[in-house]
Amino acid sequence: MQQDFKVFSSGSQELARNTVLRDTYRLLGLSMLPTAAGAALGVNTGFSLLAASPMIGSLLMLAVIYGLMFAIERNKYSSTGVYLLLGLTFFLGFTLGPILQYTLHFRNGGELIGLAVGGTGLTFLGMSAFGSNAKRDFTSIGNFLAVGGIVLMVAVVANIFLQLPVLHLVLAGGFMIFSSLMISYQINQLVNGGETNYISATLSLYISLYNIFVSLLQLLMAFGGNDRD
């Protein structure tokens, strides 16, 4: 009887993990719709505050993003968290307007955006597969990633004031590596039961995808952009 209970309990835990993983993928897919809508709006209307005052605009943008992320985590056990998450994805899509506008001024701008989208998708698939099929639990690298994230954000804020092109490209590469590792870590946590909330998981994965896309697009423009029209 005790052995039957253990089998039943193990089966229930696996079902719960699969449910969270499924809901995470569904919400992540859904989040692409407001992102696309926000990006379309951003390209057509521009981001006047960021263009007029890059420093103030960047700081305000970071304040809004982290404010929404905090609100999502506070409401991650209710439907309010879903709506806040979709609101965040719309806002982040809108903030893509300036970089997409800038990219489209290159003769191969559309190709660069397509490559960034494709590269982001392939990175997600590869790192997700690695995280879900890994034999070990990645919980131990959580602290390492947390420190890495803090270092990157401090460097981002510093470069808002310093405006160093080389540091900008270094940060783009750093964010690509960090965000790729975060995808594997988050998927591994979902598969092994370390993460049980699909809203939190979706938020983490979405931010990683966003960072990879923006970083990859910046690197493609720097090293593969043709002369602007």
> Per-residue pLDDT tens for 69-108?
999 999 999 999 999 999 999 999 999 988 999 899 898 9
The residue with greater pLDDT, 224 or 129, is 129
CA distance 209 to 215: 10
Q: Is the pLDDT of residue 29 over 70?
A: yes
Tell me the residue type at 154: V
Burial of 183 (0-12, 13-18, 19+ CB in 10 A): buried
CA distance 101 to 105: 7
User: Residue 152 falls within a domain, yes or no?
Assistant: yes
User: Residue 17 falls within a domain, yes or no?
Assistant: yes
What global pTM score does this model have?
0.86
Q: Is the pLDDT of residue 14 over 50?
A: yes
User: Residue 165 falls within a domain, yes or no?
Assistant: yes
Tell me which residue range forms the domain holding 175.
Answer: 13-224
Q: What is residue 6's predicted lDDT score, i.e. its pLDDT?
A: 47
User: Residue 193 falls within a domain, yes or no?
Assistant: yes
Instruction: Show the tokens assigned to 46.
Output: 């521009």
Q: What is residue 168's predicted lDDT score, i.e. its pLDDT?
A: 83
Instruction: Show the tokens assigned to 189.
Output: 């946590």
Collapsing DSSP to helix, strand or coil, 105 comes out as coil
Q: How many domains does the structure of the chain reveal? A: 1
Strand-pairing partners, residue 228, are: 106
User: Residue 39 falls within a domain, yes or no?
Assistant: yes
* Average of per-residue pLDDT values in the chain: 86
User: Residue 161 falls within a domain, yes or no?
Assistant: yes
Instruction: Show the tokens assigned to 228.
Output: 């602007």
Q: Which residues contact 169 (CB under 8 A, 6 or more apart)?
A: 218, 219, 222
Question: What is the pLDDT confidence band of residue 211, given thresholds at 50, 70 and 90?
Answer: very high
CA distance 56 to 192: 42
User: Residue 99 falls within a domain, yes or no?
Assistant: yes
User: Residue 1 falls within a domain, yes or no?
Assistant: no
Nearest to 184 by CA among 125, 225, 100, 97: 125
Per-residue pLDDT, averaged over 55-71, amounts to 85
CA distance 14 to 20: 10
Tokens 């420093």 sit at which residue? 55
